[in-house]
Amino acid sequence: MPDILPELALSVRQPWGHRILFEGKDIENRDRRTKVRGTIFVHSALTIEEDGQELADRLRLPVGGLIGTVDIVDCVSESDSEWFFGPYGYVLANPRPMPFVQCRGMPGFFKPDVDWDSVRAAA
């Protein structure tokens, strides 16, 4: 568990969450700009990206909870990153995987509803 818990989470479909945390995906594409900067939780949505179903099944990627943290350092409308397709990209840095914590997701940024004392006690 992170020592300092981020206030916000952003839900992404698998395998994108896995790619952010383990494969160097440094851009999260969105339809809207954001002013959010700093560390956020990466939340794995219940829905798996259709093109990523085989990878998600093979790696048994978790869904429906928090899977790590990442820093949002910028929001751009152009990028040389292989991961960018726009129209906006949240520039990501310092991905840090963490043990899965079940948590309901929501569209956009949200505050995770988690009893952290119980999570820490179970660890």
Asked, for residue 14, whether it belongs to a domain, the answer is: yes
- Whether residue 123 has pLDDT greater than 70: no
Q: CA–CA separation, 6 vs 110, rounded Å?
A: 11
Question: Percentage helix, strand, coil, to 5, in the chain?
Answer: 20, 40, 40
Q: What is the CATH number of the domain that holds 22?
A: 2.30.130.30
The answer to whether the predicted template modeling score (pTM) of the entire model surpasses 0.95 is: no
Average pLDDT for residues 60-66, to the nearest whole number?
95
Asked, for residue 16, whether it belongs to a domain, the answer is: yes
pLDDT at 68 (0 to 100): 95
Q: Is the Cβ–Cβ distance between 105 and 120 less than 8 Å?
A: no
Asked, for residue 4, whether it belongs to a domain, the answer is: no
| C-alpha 106 chain-centroid distance | 12
* Predicted confidence (pLDDT) per residue in 67-102, tens digit: 999 999 999 999 999 999 989 999 999 999 999 999
Tell me which residue range forms the domain holding 79: 9-122
Q: Which residues, 6 or more positions from 87, have their beta carbon under 8 angstroms from its beta carbon?
A: 29, 31, 77
Asked, for residue 1, whether it belongs to a domain, the answer is: no
Asked, for residue 114, whether it belongs to a domain, the answer is: yes
Asked, for residue 18, whether it belongs to a domain, the answer is: yes
Closest CA to 21 of 83, 89, 68, 82: 68
Number of domains present in the structure of the chain:
1
- Whether residue 3 has pLDDT greater than 80: no
